[in-house]
């Protein structure tokens, strides 16, 4: 079975500051890792994903995430945030070869202040 823990429910940050949203996971099998963003009153949009290869993956809107196998983490980062980055961010895992059963974290609310 898999589980996903997003360590911060809310992250307030000032505009142009760096941000890190933390995600740890637990799984008995290898997994694919994802970050999704949900803007107010919208559905979820895929930000980035880790399938294999380089542990640093870059996504849309200047976000990147680093896969750390030993720490079973997949933290999301952005060096300089904008007001428009205010949204809910979800970390998710899908077991490799396990069909389409995806487990989502509880979400982190990023609030960017002027």
Partner 1 sequence: SAVISQKPSRDICQRGTSLTIQCQVDSQVTMMFWYRQQPGQSLTLIATANQGSEATYESGFVIDKFPISRPNLTFSTLTVSNMSPEDSSIYLCSVEGGAYGYTFGSGTRLTVV
Given a contact cutoff of 8 angstroms between Cβ atoms, the answer to whether 4 and 25 are in contact is yes
Residues binding partner 1: number (CB under 8 A): 22
In angstroms, the CA 113 to CA 56 distance is: 27
Q: Which is nearer to partner 1, 15 or 66 (CB)?
A: 66
Rule CB under 8 A: say whether 107 interacts with partner 1.
yes
In angstroms, the CA 53 to CA 82 distance is: 30
For residue 26, which phi and psi values (nearest 5 degrees)? -135, 130
Least Å distance, CB 113 to partner 1, is: 21
Site string for partner 1, 50-69 (x = CB under 8 A): -x------------------
SS3 of 60, please?
helix
* Contacting residue, 43, 69, 71, 114, with partner 1 by CB under 8 A: 43
For residue 57, which phi and psi values (nearest 5 degrees)? -115, 140
Rule CB under 8 A: say whether 104 interacts with partner 1.
yes
Closest of 101, 108, 93 to residue 38, by C-alpha: 108
Q: Which is nearer to partner 1, 80 or 101 (CB)?
A: 101
What is the contact surface with partner 1 in residues (CB under 8 A)?
32, 34, 36, 41-46, 49, 51, 90, 94, 96, 99-102, 104-107
């Amino acid at each position: 079975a898999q589980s996903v823990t997003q360590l911060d429910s809310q992250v307030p940050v000032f505009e142009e500051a760096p941000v890190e949203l933390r995600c740890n996971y637990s799984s008995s099998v290898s997994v694919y890792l994802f970050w999704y963003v949900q803007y107010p009153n919208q559905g979820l949009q895929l930000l980035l994903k880790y399938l294999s290869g380089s542990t640093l993956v870059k996504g849309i809107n200047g976000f990147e995430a680093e896969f750390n196998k030993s720490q079973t983490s997949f933290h999301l980062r952005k060096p300089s945030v904008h007001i428009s980055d205010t949204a809910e961010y979800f970390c998710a895992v899908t077991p490799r070869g396990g069909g389409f059963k995806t487990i989502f974290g509880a979400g982190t609310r990023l609030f960017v202040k002027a």
